[in-house]
C-alpha cells in the first residue's frame, strides 16, 4: 500500500501527457499551421513519457523483486506447519501491534520495558511471599485428645484396677 501513491503519480503523468498530445493534435487542425512543429511536439511528449515510464519501471522492478523475496520468506515462515519459537512469536505480535498503532487502533498487548519487568518480577516475588505467610495452614484431620484433669485421670485408673 505504501507504493500505491507512486503508481498513482505515474498514472497522472501519463494522463497529463495524453491530454497534452490531444491538445497538440487539435491545434494541428488550425489553418496555416506548421505541421512539422506539431509532429515534433507530439514526438517529444511521447519520448518524455517513454523515458519517465522506463526509468520508473526500472527502479520499481528492483524494489518489487526484493519484496517478492521478502514476502516469500515471510509466507513460508508464518504459514508453515512448524511451530514458531518464542522469538518469532514476539516478532509477529510486535508487527501486528505496530500495524494497529499505524492505523490508530488501541493496542491489544502492552510490551513492558526490561527495567519495568524486573521491578514487577520483584513485586510479584514479594506478593507471593506475603501470601504464603498469611495463608492459614490446613488443619489435621486427626482428632486431638482432650486433656483431662488429674482427678478424672486418677478415678479412671482406680476404676480400671477395681474391675
Write out pLDDT tens, residues 75-93.
776 677 777 788 888 888 8
CA distance 57 to 6: 11
- Residue 108 DSSP symbol: S
pTM of full prediction above 0.75: no
CA distances from residue 154 to 44, 147, 148, 157, 162 in whole angstroms, order as listed: 130, 13, 10, 5, 12
- Segments making up each domain of the chain, as ranges: 1-82, 86-131
Q: Are 51 and 82 within 8 A, CB to CB?
A: no
Q: Which residue has the cell 490508530?
A: 104
From 19, 25, 18, select the one nearest 39 (Cα to Cα).
25
pLDDT digits (tens, 9 = 90+) for 16-63: 999 999 998 888 777 776 777 788 888 999 999 999 999 999 988 988
Q: What is the pLDDT of residue 146?
A: 57
3-state SS of 83-100 is CCCHHHHHHHHHHHHHHH
* Count, residues in the chain: 163
**Sorting pLDDT into bands at 50, 70 and 90, what band is 136?**
low
Contacts of 139 (CB under 8 A, 6+ apart): none
Amino acid at each position: 500500500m505504501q507504493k500505491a501513491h507512486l503508481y498513482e503519480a505515474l498514472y497522472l503523468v501519463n494522463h497529463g501527457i495524453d491530454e497534452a498530445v490531444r491538445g497538440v493534435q487539435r491545434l494541428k487542425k488550425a489553418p496555416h499551421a506548421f505541421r512539422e512543429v506539431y509532429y515534433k511536439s507530439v514526438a517529444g511528449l511521447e519520448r518524455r513519457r517513454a523515458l519517465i515510464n522506463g526509468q520508473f519501471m526500472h527502479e520499481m522492478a528492483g524494489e518489487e523483486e526484493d519484496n517478492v523475496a521478502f514476502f516469500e520468506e515471510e509466507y513460508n515462515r508464518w504459514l508453515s506447519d512448524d511451530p514458531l519459537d518464542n522469538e518469532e512469536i514476539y516478532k509477529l505480535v510486535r508487527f501486528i501491534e505496530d500495524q494497529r498503532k499505524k492505523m490508530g487502533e488501541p493496542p491489544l498487548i502492552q510490551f513492558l520495558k526490561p527495567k519495568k519487568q524486573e521491578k514487577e518480577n520483584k513485586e510479584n516475588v514479594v506478593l507471593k511471599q506475603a501470601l504464603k505467610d498469611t495463608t492459614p495452614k490446613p488443619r489435621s484431620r486427626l482428632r486431638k485428645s482432650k486433656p483431662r484433669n488429674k482427678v478424672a485421670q486418677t478415678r479412671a485408673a482406680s476404676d480400671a484396677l477395681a474391675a
